[in-house]
Each structure stands twice: as structure tokens, then as C-alpha cells.
Structure 1
Amino acid sequence: MLWHDELATLTVIRRPTGAILAMLHHVDAVHGAYYLLMHYWTALAGDSPAALRLPSVLAMAGAAACVALSGQRMFDRRAGLTAGLVFALIPAVARYAQEVRSYGLVVLTASLALLLLLRALERPTAVRWLGYAPTVAVAGYLHLISLGFLAAHLLAVAVAWWRERRNLRIPLGFAAAVGLGLASLYPLLRLAPAQAKRQISWVAVPTVHDLVTIWPQLFCSTALAVTMFLLAAFAWRDRRKAALAVATASAVLPVLAIWALSQRGAVSYFMPKYLFFVLPAWALLAGVGIALLRVRFVVAALAVLAVAVAPDQIAVHRDLSHAAYTYPKPVTWFAPLDYRAAARIVAQGYRPGDAAAYGQDWFQVWWGVDSGVEYYLPDNVKPRDVLLGQTGEQRDDLWSKLTDDPAAALRDAPRIWLVSRAGHPDPFDSVYPAASQALRANYRMVRVDEVSGITVALLVRL
């Protein structure tokens, strides 16, 4: 089932292209490229959950292939194949392969960037550097923070330059490619910094403790985080130290850099989902570590790893598991919102002429109670939202605005489905005071149902 991050995507990509571009001038420019991609994708494939998530599934599959090919170039075929299999076993990979957000595509782009960098370093021609440059631009447009991988790529270039007897084509080609990629990001670089404060100002400045605890959240598995560190340490028994240094830098340097940036910047960027682009590097290190074993033990090691992460794999595939998320610490103080069950209650009791009102405190706006329930309602059940003033599209914003005159907005609706986040003893209190007063004066409550995280109340006109 879709959850609120995915619903935010859905509300944007259903708009015309011009409306999406207008919104990006005010908010969420950092996801603009993904929104436009998904807008055109859904025009072809529809907006069912499967269609919405398919690009992320394909992206993670492509990333696994890039990991395997990069491992083969950096080490050998066995290490590459093992790394690709390890990548596929990471619970976070499965989790974000079923997410209608840009993070799967970010992981693919980071994986492809490393592969194309390795090709360019093998033969530093202009054509190969021109092939690498677009990955810098695409990574930036998908998520600016993912450009943290450039720190590790710089190390790879330095190593190659030294080994190739200081061939100037290597640093000059890299500088030109990166410069071209970054220059193309100018429109986003103008918009994103000003918008960041509004969108993620709530993210706390990370502590040293957060730097330690981020790893289980990155892998969506504590057991795997510990195992990855052990395998990475074991991998250093391999004789190809330069390749190991590049892989280690790719796995660790971006996390350290973003942690440090979040100490002094206006906002903190230290969130697990912003850092998933380091997972391919961790898979490379683990793949090398496992590949050092004798052939007959490699399969056994992969099997043991699969069993060890099985509970976490099951957890990330459970229904409603997407809402049990980390920001960046585990959130345990709310129930996941079951929009589909709430929509089912409305659909089963619906009568022509019924209207809807969605409880709108801060959490209702954030968790998309209105868009989530509306998405799962059948096509023939579309009650008018009586409290809606302006849609997000009309406001060039992510979020809608409620009516300033709820009494007039009620009109003569005979029945209203009041749908709100659970937690209010009286559902009338889930709306803002003026709306609560208007509803109380004109309606009585005849039915209340609760599903996970959501209360559905039926109001009948007095």
C-alpha cells in the first residue's frame, strides 16, 4: 500500500507539466526531475501501485548489474558476481525498490557513475569522459546529496593518475566531465538551497551517536550492518589495495562528509534515505570479502547471509511497513495509516450525494489522509471534499489549503464522511476550530470506525 511519501509523489505527477514546473519554483525542486519522469511514465503505464513502483524496481535491478560489472573491473569476475548478489540481499534495496520516490534511481545512477568512471580510467578518452559527465548531472537532478560520491571518485582519479605515471588526460578529463555535469545543475542549485529550510528544517543536527547508529538504518538491518563491517574488514586481506581503498572511500566518505556538512549548514541532510547511494560500495566490499573464501564456501556464505537478513526482508515487505520509517531514528509513537481500509469503509457505506471532510491538523497534512483515502476509493465513489479551499496545484505547492468559510462550504450535504488521523477522542476535534464548530452545529455523528491510524466517522445532517 502507498504511504505518505509516495502519495506526495502521486499528487504532483498527476498535474500537467506546466503546473509541475510552476510548483518547483516554490517547493521540492530537488525532486523535480523525478516528478517529471514519473508524470510521463504514468501517462503510459497508469498510476496503479505496481505501475508507480516499477521504475524503482527496474532501477535497483540495474544497480545490481552495475555493482557486478564494477566489481569485475576492480577485482575479478567472482568478486563482481558475489557483490551483485550481496547487493540484492540488502533489505534496504528491497525496501526502496518498492518506493515511489527517487531513491532507487539515485542508487542506479551512483552505481552507473562508478562503472563509467572505471571505464574512463582504463582508457581516458574524450568519448568515455563524455559518457561519465551525464551521470553527474543526472545524480544531481535526482538528489543533490548523492553527489557526495564525487569525493570517492576523486580518490579513484588520484590513484589512477599516480599509477599511470601522472597522465594528465586523467585529471583533466575528470575535471572537465565533473565541471560539465555540475554546470548543467545551475537551475537546481539556484532553487534548492532556499527551499531546503522549509522542507527539512525539522531534521536534527546529527551527533556522534547518530553517526554510529546510521548504519543499521542504511541497511534496514542491524545484523547486516555488523556483517558488512566484518566482511569489509576481511576484504582488506585482498592484495588489490588501491581498488579496496576506492571501494572503502565510496562506502564511508560520503556519509562522513554529509555528517560534517550537517554540523555547520543551515539545515541537516543526515537522513538514511539520502545516503542509500553508498550501498553499492558496501556490496562491493562484502563481495570481495566473501570471494576470498574457497569456491565451495562462497555459496554457503551467501546462503548464511540470506538467512541472517530474512527477518528484516520479511519486515520490509509487510503491508504498512513503509510507514514504520526512520527520521533518522525509529518512529514508534504512531500507528501506520491504513488508507485502503479507511477507503473501504467509506465505499461500503457511500450514498450518492455524500461528501467528505478530512481532519486537518499538522499530521493530517503531512500524512496525506485526504490523498491516501481518495486514491483507494473506487472510481464511482468520489465524495466532494467540503473543507477544501484550494488544491496544491492551484497554489503551486505540494499541499492544499482549507476553506476560510467552512459553514458556507458545507452547503446542503446530507451526510459527511469525516476521515482523520486516529488519536482524537472526539472526531469533531480532528478539524480546525471553525470547521469543528460548523460541523457540530449542523451534523450529528451516527457511526465511528477505526482502522490502523485512521478514524472514519459518518455525520448526518440535523
Structure 2
Amino acid sequence: MPQSVRTLMGRRLLGPVWLLPVLVTLLTTLYRLGNPVMWQDELATISVVTRPAGKILATVQNVDAVHGLYYMAIHFWVTLAGDSPAALRLPSVLAMTAGAAFTALAAQRLFDYRAGLLAGLVYALVPAIGRYGQEARDYGMVVLASSLALLLLLRALERPTALRWLCYAGALALSGYSNLVSLAYLAGHAALVALALRREGGRARWIGFLGAGALAGLLLIPVVTLGEKQATRQISWIPKPTVRDLATLWPQILCSTGLVVALVAVVVLLGWRVRRRAELAVAVVMTLVPFVAVWALSYGSVSYVMPKYLFFLIPAVALLAGASLATLRLRYALPVALALAVVVIPDQRALHGTLSHNRYQYPTAAPFTALDYRAAADVVAAGYRAGDGIVYGYGYAQWWEIQTGVPYYLPSGDKPVDVFAGTTAEQRNDLWGITCPAPARCLGTEPRLWLVADGGHVVNPFTTVPKAEANVLRAHYHEVLRKLVSGLSVFLLTRVH
């Protein structure tokens, strides 16, 4: 059967190239959407987006400028949809789903319909898409922007009009405001431009490409300036990459060791059959060269090699795999795609569990115990009485956003007052507040206090707070209840009469 007839049959059977990838992506991102307990990054989002818009703008002057656009967008979103876990995560669902459509359309433009369909399906099956499509953070926006930029570049190279280059520049700016690291994909885009020039000739495409990049750079000056000032505070803890990391980094980017092995096998065994060799070479460049660029840059003052910062590579990975799979007949390629779905089932299940969101380096084990804020809040809510106060243990309490996470899961009418709260994070235009400098004056006459501290094995509640607070509490309260949940210890203290 002629190639054109088989392709036409595929179109009629499976619809537009983007339809099936979009449906599968929706399935993986909506699965148990509200079930996983919010973790510290998502709680930081909650802390910021629930502030007035002016306070958000003031906050990003001090911290998290790289998330500023996302914070503002979600601020207006929650005024309409509320701040439940599902509502907060739904924009990421929609962003990742749009990324599936853009990836499929880009692969179709670069190769053909079958490659587009299979690239979109590979994208949809990547466990990182399903997992971070449920993250109340801007990783979905990063993937959306990188896949959209690729599609818009292909359109601009086909017909290089000013409007198309302006649209491409907008996608570049969106990428930068989502995650500046993602702009490493420009190295791969340059290879696409070079290929177009080799075939079409002329300088218009280079001029358009460089002009779009320059315009995006101008638009990104605010976030670049602020991000550079805040980088030491925010990402200085990320270690420099080592050769040993190569064995784990790609599985962490895709959130699946099995899928990495399967896709490497697909590309090695089938890639040589791809007829459009130049396009295949460009797909390899788009996958590997930005990765190497980020790796090299990470030997500067700060490291950027963090799996979730590299999710912008997923559309390129999907495109490369889709082009390779497309060398098979459709009736063989779809069963292979189904086999890939079977491979990732264990990963998908693991990443949608109740305490799965802390595993930011999956499949590598998390370096800390997941904090179950919901379970801790359930303990407090079950025993709450009007007039109760609450204290949060010091340690890493602010880092873990305990003072945000526990109240978030408490019923609206059962929220005890933080008796040692001083200057709040919102008042400081920061992520963290400052506790009361004079605990004896801040402590009221609360008959009972709840104390929540990080660490699910604490024995003595008075060792979880600063010495001045401990002395005041020890003089007026004694422990009557202790409950240990994952990563947290919950105590009830009653006043000594």
C-alpha cells in the first residue's frame, strides 16, 4: 500500500495528530489529581499566590523572581477556581496537555503524521509529564513554552514573516520567565535554522532567528537581573554534576529507568531507518546539545543540573523517539507504544501516591522522609477546641513550610492561632517569617497548645523549639498527647494550673 494511502488511513482512524496524545496526557495528569499531599514547593506557591497582587510583586523583588509570572497567573486563577489541591494543580494539567499537542504538531512538521502521532504518545507516556502535570509549580509552563517555541520556529522557517518571528520571540520570553535554564534549547533551534538555510539559502531566516532571540532577551532583562541576584540564596545548594550522575540523571528527567532504556533501544535499533537523516540529526542535537550546555554552565558559580530544571528536553526526546518509531508500520508502531505504556505503569503508580510529591529525584530515593501535612492536620482537627493555640518547631520548620502546610489542611473553623508568630512572611515580602523575639510577652493564656515539629520520631516537644520558647512553654505547659505521622510529630500541651 502506498505511503500516502497508509498515512491517510491513519488520519481517518486516529483523527488529528494531536488528539490521541492530548487524551492520553489528560488521563495521566488527571489521575488522582487531588490525592497526593502538597509538598514544600507547592506550599511555597500557596504562601505566595494567596497574597495581594502588590505583595506578590514585592516578594519577587526579594526571592523567587524566576517564578514571578507563574505566581501572578495562579494568584488570579485561585480567585476564580479556589485553592484546593486539584484547583491549584489544574493549570499544570492544562499546560502539560497543550505541550502534548505542540510536540505532536512539531514532529509532524519536521517528519510526517505518523512521527507526530507517535512523538505525542511518547510524550504523554513519560511519567514526568503525568507527575509534574500535577505540580502546583511552573514546570508545566516550561514544557508548554519549549514545545510551543519549537513549533513556532518550524512555522517561521517555513514562511519567515515578521508576525511569525514575533510569535516565536514571545514563546522564548515565556520560556525564560518560566525557567531561564530552559533557553538552552536555543542551541538545538540553531541547528534547525542551519538546516533550513542549507536547503533554502538566503539570510532572512538567520536574521529572523537572531532578531527574535534579541527581542526575547530584552523582554527577559527584569527576570535575568533579579534572578542573578537571588541565585546564590535559591540554588547554591545544588551540587556540581559529576560523571557518576550521568547514570541517574536521564532516568530522573523522565522519571523512569525502564522508559529511558526502552527509548534508547528504539532510537538505536530504528533510528537508522529514518529517511530524513538531516532532520533526525537535528533531533539528536536538540536532545543532547542543550543537556551538555547546562552541564557545562553548572561548573560556574552555581549549578543548574537538577532533573526538574531539564524537563524542557522532554519534547525533543519524544520527537526523536517518535521519528524512530515511525519507521515501523502503524499496526506495529502502536503496539510498541502500548508496550512502552506497560513499562511505565509502575512509575506512574509510584508518582501518584499519597506521599509521592516529595520524590523530586525519582526513581532515586528521596533524601528525606515525606512530610504528611494532611495527617498532622487531621490529628489537630480531631482534638481541636475553641481557644487552642499552636506552635511550630524550629529546625527546618520554615524550610519545610510546616506553618503553611498544616493550616492549609485544617478545616476553616479549626485553625488555632500561632502564638509565637512575629513578622509574617507576607509582611516581610519573603517566603519565611520571623518568630516573636520575646516569647514570654507573645504567649497568651491559651489553655492548650498544639506543637507540630519536623521529624516523625521526636520524643521531647520542648527540644523542637528555640531555647527561649522552650523555657516559656516548659514553665506553663506539659505534654498530654503525642502523635507521630510521616515526617512530623504532633503534640498537645495543656496549661499547668
Q: Which residue of 2 aligns with 1:218?
A: 253
Contact 2:287 2:317 in 1 (8 A): yes
Separation in 2, partners of 1:455, 1:333: 19
Higher mean C-alpha deviation, range 239-248 or range 29-38 = 239-248
Q: Which residue of 1 aligns with 2:149?
A: 113
How many Å apart are 1:451 and its aligned residue? 1.1
Contact 1:236 1:244 in 2 (8 A): no
Deviations 1:271-290 (A, max 9, x none): 00000010011111111121
Counterpart of 1:458, as a letter, is L
Secondary structure, aligned partner of 1:275: helix
Q: Does 1:359 align with 2:393?
A: yes
Q: Does 1:271 align with 2:338?
A: no
Deviations 1:68-110 (A, max 9, x none): 1011101110110011011110100001000000001110000
Q: Which residue of 1 aligns with 2:136?
A: 100
Deviations 1:318-343 (A, max 9, x none): 111011222x9935453211111111
Q: Does 1:146 align with 2:158?
A: no
How many Å apart are 1:232 and its aligned residue? 2.5
Q: How does 1:28-427 map to 2 (within 5 A)?
A: 28-165=64-201, 167-233=202-268, 234-263=270-299, 265-326=300-361, 330-361=364-395, 363-422=396-455, 423-427=457-461
TM-score, with structure 1 as normaliser: 0.97
Counterpart of 1:380, as a letter, is G
The list of structure 1 runs, each at least 4 consecutive aligned residues, that deviate by more than 3 angstroms after superposition, is: 328-333
Contact 1:232 1:282 in 2 (8 A): no
Separation in 1, partners of 2:141, 2:266: 26
Secondary structure, aligned partner of 1:366: coil
How many Å apart are 1:228 and its aligned residue? 1.7
Separation in 2, partners of 1:115, 1:325: 29
Secondary structure, aligned partner of 1:226: helix
How many Å apart are 1:242 and its aligned residue? 1.7
Structure 1 pair 287/329, CA: closer, same or farther in 2 (3 Å)?
closer
Deviations 1:53-78 (A, max 9, x none): 01000011100001110111011101
Secondary structure, aligned partner of 1:364: coil
Separation in 2, partners of 1:125, 1:169: 9
Deviations 1:391-436 (A, max 9, x none): 1111111111111111221111110000111243312211122111
Counterpart of 1:104, as a letter, is G
Counterpart of 1:354, as a letter, is D
Contact 1:129 1:173 in 2 (8 A): yes
Contact 1:231 1:285 in 2 (8 A): no
Q: Does 1:24 align with 2:24?
A: no
Separation in 1, partners of 2:210, 2:62: 32
How many Å apart are 1:150 and its aligned residue? 0.8
Separation in 2, partners of 1:209, 1:64: 32
Contact 1:114 1:153 in 2 (8 A): yes
Separation in 2, partners of 1:288, 1:380: 56
Counterpart of 1:176, as a letter, is G
Separation in 1, partners of 2:363, 2:463: 30
Deviations 1:370-399 (A, max 9, x none): 110100000101111012111111111111
Deviations 1:16-64 (A, max 9, x none): 1111111111111011111011111111111111110010000111000
Question: Mind listing any 5+ residue stretches in structure 2 that lack a counterpart?
Answer: 1-36
Separation in 2, partners of 1:46, 1:250: 38
Contact 2:152 2:167 in 1 (8 A): yes
Secondary structure, aligned partner of 1:365: coil
Counterpart of 1:348, as a letter, is A
Q: CA RMSD in A?
A: 1.2
Q: Does 1:458 align with 2:492?
A: yes
Structure 1 pair 142/425, CA: closer, same or farther in 2 (3 Å)?
same
Counterpart of 2:453, as a letter, is S
TM-score, with structure 2 as normaliser: 0.90
Secondary structure, aligned partner of 1:356: strand
Separation in 1, partners of 2:92, 2:74: 11
Higher mean C-alpha deviation, range 131-140 or range 425-434 = 425-434
Q: Does 1:444 align with 2:473?
A: no
